Amino acid sequence: MNNCMEYHVDLLKADGGTIYGSTALVASSNLEAVEKAKHWAASLALIVGDARLQINLNGIGIRSLGPGEF
């Protein structure tokens, strides 16, 4: 049985007021979603030094990574 869920990922300015980019991804666990989100962020041409990565599931934040954590 496949228990995949859709996660929403935002790359935000550290103050949370500016979205540099966002995507949706499918993963079977929170851990897999975090790894996929890190991979997505690394694939962007521009990573701003003060950016943070926010991973959400059903509108609830499951993980927030600060500068240097992704």
Mean pLDDT of each 10-residue bin along the chain, 70 residues long: 88 83 96 96 76 94 89
**Category of 33 on φ-ψ map: left (φ > 0), alpha (ψ -120 to 50) or beta:** alpha
Residue 1: what pLDDT?
45
3-state secondary structure of 54: strand
pTM recorded for the entire structure: 0.86
Please report, to the nearest 10 degrees, the dihedral formed by the alpha carbons of residues 37, 39, 40, 46 taken in order. 120
Comparing CA positions, the residue from 52, 48, 25 lying closest to residue 36 is 25
Residue 35: what pLDDT?
97
Residue 66: what pLDDT?
87
Residue 47: what pLDDT?
64
